[in-house]
Structure 1
């Protein structure tokens, strides 16, 4: 998985590409924790180019979601499809983590917290 951090006027977007597995967790976690320390106001993680996700990667997403909830940060996932969507549904993250089809949808949303 190759993470890329992109700064937009109203958000930080972490774009992921490839397989998000146990081997990629340390780098992904480092990038996510950097955003925690930076106290970004809106973070979007884009999974549109991800072909596979396993549970440790979802654990990093949950870690940030918990941080965001306490810090007043808006947070959402985008581009969840195919095998990634199946994994997302199995772990039931869609029940509480906002998710939208595209980064553009997330960037234009007035409030990410109501996008479940």
Structure 2
């Protein structure tokens, strides 16, 4: 009887450990980062609100202002994360030029 209880408890603990491992692994991949890019300075014009990487932005070479709501984002000169890049943390950048990024140059970006 004692061996059966021990065996059952061992199986239950194994299943709980496995479930905890899966939950822990997936929790680390959830992203709470958010960025909004705008086609005009002072947050005007067409915009894109993103919570995940953008290898090719619909506003390609048209981004003039950025709001980083959370996380740190890397903005690239070319699609597919190519060329020069600039990192921005949370804040409002009413003109990308104020952040050292040439106007209308960003073609892709991703969370880092």
Fold conserved (TM > 0.5)? no
Which structure dedicates a bigger proportion of its chain to strand?
2
**Which has more helix, going by share of residues?**
1
